[in-house]
Amino acid sequence: MLLSRAVLPIAMTSLLIAPVSAFGQTATQPEVRGYVGTGLGYYRLNDEDFLDEDDDLKDNRWAWRVFGGVEANRVFSLEVGYWDFGSTDDGNLEMEATGWTVAGIAALPLTPWIAPYGKVGQLFWDRERSLGPISRSDSSNDLFYGVGARVTLSDHVDLRLEYERMALDDTDLDMGSVNVQFRF
């Protein structure tokens, strides 16, 4: 009984320290590598203030992206990307949007193959909204954030599963995506 009381705290401490030690080993071995990638996402759009306060646009659509970046090691990276959100509609209400992103990513390698990560960045977007013959274009930039998991498939290929929360002024986008990243 005494042995089991000692084993549980030691095992729990080991489980807590293992990811931290993996993080420390990776962070102390800098290896600057570039990467490019592409992805496909599905998003839920909610525009509560479309052209006036009485119109709402709610839709679900596919989007695609391309991205590239530099990782200082397998923990920290800086990324730029382009999203094409396509055309969404809800009856007579329509919207088309695209955007460029700049983001910082911090990963926590749990194993050599799996690393959950968080990202935060800026989305520089352009959109055109219309209600029948009336249309309006605008552009701006907004903060976005996301979480994901990177799965290493080979020395040069990663699979990334992501959830990102973006805003285009008063339009909220919740995006889930699957991405392939090629490191060189």
Domains and CATH numbers, the chain: 31-183 (2.40.160.20)
pLDDT tier at 19, thresholds 50, 70, 90:
very low
The whole-angstrom separation of Cα 107 and Cα 28 is 14
Instruction: Tell me how many helices (H) and strands (E) the chain has.
Output: 1, 8
pLDDT in tens, 79-121: 999 999 999 887 788 889 999 999 999 999 999 999 999 999 9
* DSSP 8-state assignment for residue 157: E
**7: pLDDT strictly greater than 70:** no
The whole-angstrom separation of Cα 182 and Cα 65 is 14
Q: Tell me, what's the pLDDT at 89? A: 81
**29: pLDDT strictly greater than 90:** no
pLDDT tier at 172, thresholds 50, 70, 90:
confident
HSE-CB of 83 using CA atoms within 13 angstroms = 33
SS3 66: strand
**Percentage of the chain exceeding pLDDT 70:** 79
* DSSP 8-state assignment for residue 24: H
- Report whether 87 contacts 100 (CB < 8 A): no
The whole-angstrom separation of Cα 123 and Cα 101 is 5
**33: pLDDT strictly greater than 50:** yes
